Amino acid sequence: MSRTRIKICGLTREADVDDAIDAGADALGFVLYDKSARAVTLARAAELAARLPPFVTPVLLFVNASPAVLRQAVEALPQALLQFHGDETPAQCEAPGHPWIRAARMAPGVDLLDFGQRFSGAQALLLDTHVETYGGSGKVFDWSLIPPSVPLPVVLSGGLSPANVTDGVLRVRPWAVDVSSGVEQSKGVKNAALMRRFCKAVREADDAIAAL
C-alpha cells in the first residue's frame, strides 16, 4: 500500500501555509467561493501558492464557477488541481482541460458507483458530508455509505480531525484525506500543532496498515 496523501484546505495566511508544509501536507486547498468564510481571491491564492515547494500541490476549490473564472484560474496557477464542489456537470468539469477532482456529498441513497462512472474523468472523488449549503460542514458522515469498490481514488473528507483520522484511514483505506475545520483555531485560521497532530495520526494509521 502507498501512503495516504494529506490535503489541508481553507488556507488564508502565509504562516499557515508554511506550517502546513512543515507538518507534512501533500496538497493545500484554496477556496475560491466568495460565500465561504475561508474564501480568498485568485490573486491571493496565487500569492499563497507561490510559497509551496515542489511536490506540494495547490488545489483550487470552486462552486458553480463560470467558464471565464475557471480559465483565469488555470492561467494564473497552471500547476493547480481543480476541485469542483457545486452542481457542476461532467462536461463543465472537463471544459477547462485541466486535472480535477469532484466532491460528492454523502447521504443515504447516494449511488457513489453511478456518480463515479458519470465523473470518470476526475482524478479522484472527494467524499464530504451532505449539507444543504455548499462547502464543508465540519461533521462526519456515515462511512458505511462508501461501497467496498469505488471506480476512482477516494479522498475522505467531512469532519476529520487529529482525533478521528486514524480510524478513518483504517476503516476506509482512502487514497487521501482532506481536513479544514479540524485543524483550525477559528474559521480560516489554522493551528500549527493541530496540523502536525493530524499528519502524525495519518502516518500512524499507515504504519498500522503496513504492519497487518
Domains, the chain: 5-210 (3.20.20.70)
**Between 156 and 107, the higher pLDDT residue:** 156
**Environment class of 171 (CB within 10 Å of its CB; exposed 0-12, middle 13-18, buried 19+):** middle
Band (pLDDT 50/70/90 cuts) for residue 108 is confident
Band (pLDDT 50/70/90 cuts) for residue 133 is low
Q: What is the pLDDT of residue 137?
A: 61
| Alpha-carbon torsion, ordered 118, 120, 125, 128, to 10 deg | -10
Q: What is the pLDDT of residue 146?
A: 95
List the Cα angle 183/155/203 in 5-degree steps: 60
How does pLDDT run across 18-48, given as a tens digit for each residue?
Answer: 999 999 999 999 999 999 999 999 999 999 9
Among the residue ranges 95-104, 118-127, 134-143, the one predicted with the least confidence is 134-143
Query: For residue 87, what are the contacts with CB-CB under 8 A and spacing of at least 6?
Result: 64
Q: What is the pTM of this model?
A: 0.95
Among the residue ranges 22-31, 124-133, 175-184, 193-202, the one predicted with the least confidence is 124-133
| Alpha-carbon torsion, ordered 29, 104, 166, 81, to 10 deg | -30
Q: What is the pLDDT of residue 132?
A: 59
- Which sequence positions are flagged as catalytic? 9, 128
C-alpha cell at 77: 496557477
Helix axes 165-172, 192-210, angle to 10 degrees: 30
How does the average pLDDT of the chain come out, rounded?
A: 94
DSSP strand pairing (184-186 vs 189-190): antiparallel
Of 172, 177, 132, 134, nearest to 159 by C-alpha is: 177
List the Cα angle 6/178/2 in 5-degree steps: 35
CB 174 within 8 A of CB 158: no
Distance CA(71)–CA(44), nearest Å, equals 16
Percent of the chain at pLDDT above 90? 90
Band (pLDDT 50/70/90 cuts) for residue 1 is low
How does pLDDT run across 43-80, given as a tens digit for each residue?
Answer: 999 999 999 999 999 999 999 999 999 999 999 999 99
